[in-house]
Amino acid sequence: MPGEPAFIQALRAIATTPAARALADDAAVLQVGGETLVLTLDTVVESVHYLPADPAADVAWKLVAVNVSDLSAKGATPLGCLYSHALGEDAWDKSFLLGLEEACGHFAIPLLGGDTVRMPDGAPRSFSLTAIGTAGKAAPVPCRSAARAGDEVWVSGTIGDAGLGLAVAAGKLPAAAGPAAALLSAYRRPSPEPRLGAALAPLVHAMMDVSDGLLVDAARIADASGVSIAIEADAVPLSPALISVAGKGLDSRMQAMTAGDDYELLFTAPAGQAAGIREAAEAVGHHVTRCGMVSQGSGLSLTHDGRPLPLPGRLGYQH
C-alpha cells in the first residue's frame, strides 16, 4: 500500500456498512431510535498539523472547530465530543484545556469523555477528537455527491482569511495590526457556525465544508456528483481584512480560492431558491454568497468577469 490513497482504499473495503458512506463524506451517518446521528473523528499531530510554538489553547480550539464544521456540513447540530489527550508539559496541557473549554462552550458541544495517554520522552504528540451530532428525525443529510446540473453553487462566510492568517503567523506578511489580528484569528480560531448546516440542509443538494481550499473542494463535489462546476472568481466573497491586506484583484482571489482552513460551507442548490437560502443563513446570523453554477459534464472550470480563466496548477491542499 504505497501511501495514504491506497490505505484509504483498503479501509473502504472494510467500512462496507451503509452508515460509513464509503468513507467518502468526512462523517458517518447512523440511524438510531428514529434519529439520524452524525459522527466524525479528526486527529492533529504536532509538527504536522500544528507547530510546537503554536498557542496550545488555539490548537485545542481548532480541533473542536474542525469537527463541528464536519457535523455542520452534514446538517447536524452537536450533541457532544470525546477526545484523546497525549500528556506533555504541564503548562502547555493546562493552556490546551482552557482552549478546549472555551471551544466546547462557544460551539455548544459538551465534553463527554475521552482518554489520556503518556508518550515516550520527546515524541511528537497527537490529539484525536470524535464529535457526535444529530440531524434530527428524517432530516435530509447532505453529501458530496448530490449536485445536479442547473444547481447554483454557494459558499458561506468569506474565503481565504485563514490562508493569509497562516502567512501572518509565519511572519511572511506585514500587515496593519487590525487586519493582521483578524486574519490570524481566522487561521487559529476558525469559527464555523454550528447551526448553519442544519438551517441549510433542507434547501441544498450537495454540501461539504471547505477545509482544503474552495477550488479543490468544489472539484471534489463535481467528481463525486458526476457534474461540471464553474466557479466565478469575481463572485467569491472576500473579507474586509483580506481586501485591506491583499486587495480584491485576481491574484488575491486565486490565493483565497486555493488556501485551506476556511471551514465554511460549500453547497449547491436549485436555481431560484436564493431568497430562501439567504434567509435561512441570516436566521442563524451568518451569510452566504452565490459563486458558481453546476452543469452537465465533468470537472471544474473558472471564470472571471464572464471570461474563462485557466485553472491554477494547485487547487488547494491535497492529501
Q: Cite the annotated binding site for substrate by residue number.
A: 49, 261
Which residue(s) pair with 155 in the sheet?
266, 289
Taking the complex as a whole, how short is the minimal distance between the CB of residue 9 and a second copy, in angstroms?
11
Distances (CA, A) of 214 to 5, 75, 145, 180, 260: 21, 19, 16, 22, 8
299-304 and 228-232 beta bridge pairing: parallel
Asked if 224 touches a second copy (CB under 8 A), the answer is: no
Which grid coordinates belong to 233? 472568481
Report how far residue 80's alpha carbon sits from residue 133's, in angstroms, rounded to the nearest whole number: 7
Stretch that binds a second copy, among 15-23, 149-157, 192-200, 301-309 (CB under 8 A): 15-23
Query: Which residue's CB is nearer to a second copy, number 88 or number 312?
Result: 88
Asked if 19 touches a second copy (CB under 8 A), the answer is: yes
Report how far residue 183's alpha carbon sits from residue 163's, in angstroms, rounded to the nearest whole number: 8
Report how far residue 90's alpha carbon sits from residue 75's, in angstroms, rounded to the nearest whole number: 37
Distances (CA, A) of 245 to 67, 171, 173, 259, 312: 29, 14, 9, 15, 22
Query: Which residue's CB is nearer to a second copy, number 20 or number 243?
Result: 20
Query: Which residue's CB is nearer to a second copy, number 79 or number 169?
Result: 79
What residue numbers does the annotated binding site for ATP cover? Answer: 114-115, 144, 211
Interaction with a second copy in 25-64: which residues (CB under 8 A)? 27-28, 30, 32-35, 37, 39-49
Report how far residue 146's alpha carbon sits from residue 135's, in angstroms, rounded to the nearest whole number: 17
Candidate list 51, 117, 176, 274; residue touching a second copy; CB under 8 A: 117
Taking the complex as a whole, how short is the minimal distance between the CB of residue 294 and a second copy, in angstroms?
26
Which residue(s) pair with 1 in the sheet?
none
Interaction with a second copy in 135-194: which residues (CB under 8 A)? 137
Contact 107, 78 (CB under 8 A): yes
Report how far residue 98's alpha carbon sits from residue 83's, in angstroms, rounded to the nearest whole number: 14
Query: What is the pattern of x (binds a second copy, CB under 8 A) and - over residues 58-97?
Result: ---------------------xx-xxxxxx--x--xx--x
Contact 109, 131 (CB under 8 A): yes
Asked if 124 touches a second copy (CB under 8 A), the answer is: yes
Query: Which residue's CB is nearer to a second copy, number 88 or number 150?
Result: 88
Query: Which residue's CB is nearer to a second copy, number 94 or number 314?
Result: 94
The residues of the shown chain that bind a second copy, judged by CB under 8 A, are: 1-4, 7-8, 10-11, 14-17, 19-21, 23, 27-28, 30, 32-35, 37, 39-49, 79-80, 82-87, 90, 93-94, 97, 100-101, 104, 110-120, 123-124, 126, 128, 130, 132, 134, 137
